[in-house]
């Protein structure tokens, strides 16, 4: 045992090197003074041995390839040598491609407990400063197919927690990350000095995916970007580094060390909060499940509207049934069934994208429509004719309010 009589240890100035050295020397002296003892029981090793022990899982890296609808995708995978399933992060490089810096970033992110895939989209990368923006990225089906395949590939890995996947992109890659998050449910999206957009359709597609924007310099699009995210009720955070040039995180000419370190910590904290600590039954998880269901869905907004609102549709049937007091149990049960279907239609509408208008408003309207339908169901359960009529009127008002912005 190596112990010395010291009641507490507190450095006089936070983090001073002098304090560390003195304490380290004390420990070293105590460690070397510990005598060797024979016997069967394990001897307590000197504290420094434990302190210096390298007992964290090693980081394994490998070049990987997987199929996508647009052909084979290559990437660089970093994961810890552990049997534990971990959250995952997809890294999308900037215009310089899958560089050594990107691979180093993958390893560093991996070291705090993520499976990290840095995709190689080198063949699709534009020249520096020629990135066409997130809206164009959303329309670029081939790149989007490759990135979606990367997310699916990560989610299917046994060492990945499939409901905890985030994406981080830089510059051109940031535009791709935003487009990917708009097309595929993810737990978090980090965009580093990418093009800031106020495209309502694109931002609406993010649904409940939180967004962290690392912004360099005075970006004139920042105000509109923020306003659009707020209008769409998107959970978002902006870290502005006003005094640096774009690409300040990448080692090279515009590199700004202090700001880059600060940006990384912001990214780690954001991923920790929204990817690693993502609740299994949280909104993003539900969106993921809903999104997966939607991939198999065939009903468009127009289909739902026709099925509900046409004279022979569910709501039309409901209106006719409530023109007069229902005669008995069978009629009330029929009213309840139709009202319940209208409520389900409201939930379906909420999961769809509006043809026009803001996504936040669309969600609000769809929820209000669903709530009104629920009131018809409740009234039917209570055989309350007047309440059922009143709730039916609210349904009509909801339709009108929604059509004003989204039809």
Partner 1 sequence: MKRCFVLALLGLATWALTVHAEHAAIALKVFRVETESGRTTEEVGAGADQEPPAGGVQLRPLFKVKAGEPLVLQFIYTNTYPHGVTKAVRIRYFIVRAEKVKQKTLPPLDEGVVTQGQFHLNFKPKCRVGARVAFTLRDPGVYLVRVDSFNTNSDHEHFSAIDLQVE
Positions touching partner 1 (CB under 8 A) are: 1-11, 14-15, 19-20, 23-24, 26-27, 30, 34-35, 37, 39, 41-44, 47-48, 50-52, 54-57, 80, 82, 84, 86-87, 108, 111-114, 260-262, 264-265, 268-269, 271-273, 275-276
What's the Rg (C-alpha) of the chain? 28
Give the torsion through C-alpha atoms of 134, 140, 143, 149, to 10 deg: 100
**What Å distances lie between residue 297 and 87, 293, 301, CA to CA?**
28, 6, 11
How far is 276 from 160, CA to CA, in rounded Å?
Answer: 11
- 60 strand-pairing partners: 79
Q: How far is the CB of 95 from partner 1 (least distance, A)?
A: 23
Q: Which is nearer to partner 1, 137 or 167 (CB)?
A: 167
CA distance 239 to 241: 7
Nearer to partner 1, 241 or 332 (CB): 241
To the nearest whole angstrom, how small is the minimum distance from the Cβ of residue 272 to partner 1? 6
**Long-range contacts for 274-281 (Cβ within 8 Å, ≥24 apart)?**
274/166, 274/187, 274/188, 274/210, 275/87, 275/89, 275/114, 275/164, 275/165, 275/166, 275/187, 275/188, 276/87, 276/113, 276/114, 276/164, 278/87, 278/163, 278/164, 278/187, 278/188, 280/163
Provide the pairing of β-strand 188-192 with 160-170: parallel
Mapped onto helix, strand or coil, the DSSP state of residue 243 is coil
CB of 5 to partner 1, least distance (A): 6
Minimum distance between the CB of residue 42 and partner 1, rounded to whole angstroms?
6
Name the residue nearer to partner 1 (CB basis): 80 or 143.
80
Nearer to partner 1, 4 or 400 (CB): 4
* Nearer Cβ to partner 1 (57/97): 57
Q: Which is nearer to partner 1, 23 or 128 (CB)?
A: 23
Q: How far apart are the first and last CA of the chain?
A: 78
Q: Min. distance of Cβ 99 from partner 1 in angstroms?
A: 17
Q: At closest approach, how far in Å is the CB of 114 from partner 1?
A: 5
Which of 124, 273 has the CB closer to partner 1? Answer: 273
CA distances from 193 to 133, 216, 228, 285, 333 (A): 12, 6, 18, 27, 57
User: Residue 250 Cβ, how far from partner 1 at the closest point, in Å?
Assistant: 14
User: CB-wise, 271 or 322, nearer to partner 1?
Assistant: 271
Q: How far is the CB of 361 from partner 1 (least distance, A)?
A: 30
């Amino acid at each position: 045992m190596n112990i010395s009589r010291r009641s507490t240890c507190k450095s006089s100035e936070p983090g001073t090197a002098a304090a560390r050295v003195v304490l380290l020397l004390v420990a070293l002296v105590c460690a070397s003074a510990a005598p060797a003892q024979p016997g069967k029981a394990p001897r307590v090793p000197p504290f420094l041995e434990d302190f210096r022990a390298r007992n964290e899982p090693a980081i394994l890296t490998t070049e990987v390839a997987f199929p996508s609808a647009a052909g084979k995708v290559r990437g660089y995978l970093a994961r810890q040598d552990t049997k534990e399933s971990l959250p995952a992060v997809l890294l999308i490089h900037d215009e310089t491609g899958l560089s050594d810096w990107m691979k180093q970033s993958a390893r560093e992110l991996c070291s705090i407990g993520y499976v990290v895939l840095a995709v190689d989209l080198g063949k699709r990368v534009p020249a520096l400063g020629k990135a066409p923006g997130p809206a164009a990225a959303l329309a670029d089906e081939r790149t989007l197919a490759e990135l979606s395949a990367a997310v699916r590939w990560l989610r299917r890995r046994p060492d990945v927690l499939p409901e905890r996947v985030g994406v981080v992109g830089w510059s051109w890659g940031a535009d791709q990350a935003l487009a990917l998050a708009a097309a595929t449910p993810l737990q978090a999206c980090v965009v580093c000095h990418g093009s800031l957009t106020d495209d309502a359709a694109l931002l609406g597609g993010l649904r409940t995916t939180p967004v962290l924007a690392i912004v360099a310099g005075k970006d004139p699009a920042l105000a509109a970007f923020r306003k659009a995210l707020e209008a769409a009720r998107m959970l978002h955070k902006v870290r502005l580094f006003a005094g640096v040039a774009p690409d300040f995180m990448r080692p090279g000419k515009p590199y700004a060390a202090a700001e880059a370190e600060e940006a990384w910590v912001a990214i780690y904290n954001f991923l920790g909060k929204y990817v690693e600590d993502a609740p299994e039954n949280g909104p993003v998880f539900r969106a993921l499940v809903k999104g997966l269901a939607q991939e198999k869905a065939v009903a468009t907004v127009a289909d739902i509207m026709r099925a509900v609102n046409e004279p022979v549709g569910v709501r039309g049937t409901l209106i006719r049934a409530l023109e007069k007091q229902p005669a008995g149990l069978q009629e009330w049960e029929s009213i309840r069934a139709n009202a319940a279907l209208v409520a389900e239609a409201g939930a379906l509408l909420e999961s769809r994208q509006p043809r026009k208008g803001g996504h936040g408003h669309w969600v609000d309207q769809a929820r209000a429509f669903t709530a009104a339908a629920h009131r018809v169901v409740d009234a039917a359960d209570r055989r309350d004719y007047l309440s059922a009529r009143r709730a039916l009127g609210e349904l009509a008002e909801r339709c009108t309010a929604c059509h004003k912005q989204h039809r």
